[in-house]
């Protein structure tokens, strides 16, 4: 374990298992729908890359970058930094997220895509942290539910660091209270 990590919540094998399980469900439920998977940058990239290995039907990929975080806290304001290029009108959309935390970012993105005429919008997330939710949001496809701790790794960062860890760990408080 790295010295900046308090505990490992999910090792790499557990992440792959969750991705495989979710991929099988998505394959079954979307096999005849040609869904658009929209990865929310930057954190979703490792999970999205693992997830699509386990989806056995036609999909389309696009990316959107939105942010509401600075450090370890949500600012409460959602800012769109990069928009998708694909039209979602009359399409099934799967928003791929590394973690659903407060729900603010996803709720705003879902409103935008709904206004653009998406046929359906669902969320697939590696991690769900319902204890920290500030808006009503229940992702349909969840890899693991986790406690209200600040996690890093496999796309999740602290000020852009630690995204490249191949596991999910709890960042030591001493690391962000410096």
The two beta strands, 120-128 and 92-100, are: parallel
Question: Is 41 within 8 Å of 65 (Cβ atoms)?
Answer: yes
Catalytic residue of the set 101, 114, 115, 128: 101
Phi/psi at 114 (5° precision)? -65, -45
Torsion region of 46: left, alpha or beta (phi above 0 gives left; psi -120 to 50 gives alpha): alpha
DSSP per position, 53-78: TT--S--EEEEEEEEEEETTEEEEEE
**CB count, 10 Å around CB of 146?**
21
**CB count, 10 Å around CB of 124?**
26
- Is position 101 annotated as part of the catalytic site? yes
- Decide: helix, strand or coil at residue 174: helix
37 beta partners: 61, 94
Distance between CA atoms of 132 and 149, rounded to whole angstroms? 9
Catalytic site positions: 101
């Amino acid at each position: 374990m790295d010295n900046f990590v308090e505990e490992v919540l999910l090792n790499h094998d557990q992440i792959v298992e969750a991705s495989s399980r979710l991929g099988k469900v998505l394959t079954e439920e979307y096999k005849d729908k040609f869904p658009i998977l929209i990865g929310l940058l930057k954190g979703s990239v490792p999970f999205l890359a693992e997830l699509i290995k386990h989806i056995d039907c036609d999909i389309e990929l696009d990316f959107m970058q939105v942010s509401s975080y600075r450090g370890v806290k949500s600012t409460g304001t959602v800012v769109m930094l990069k928009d998708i290029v694909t039209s979602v009108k009359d399409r099934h959309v799967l928003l791929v997220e590394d973690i659903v935390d407060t729900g603010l970012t996803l709720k705003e993105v879902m409103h935008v895509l709904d206004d653009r005429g998406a046929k359906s919008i669902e969320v697939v997330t590696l991690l769900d942290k319902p204890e920290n939710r500030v808006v009503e949001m229940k992702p349909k496809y969840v890899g693991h539910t986790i406690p209200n701790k600040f996690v890093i790794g496999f796309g999740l960062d602290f000020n852009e660091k630690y995204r490249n860890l191949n596991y999910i760990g709890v960042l030591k408080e001493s690391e962000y209270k410096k």
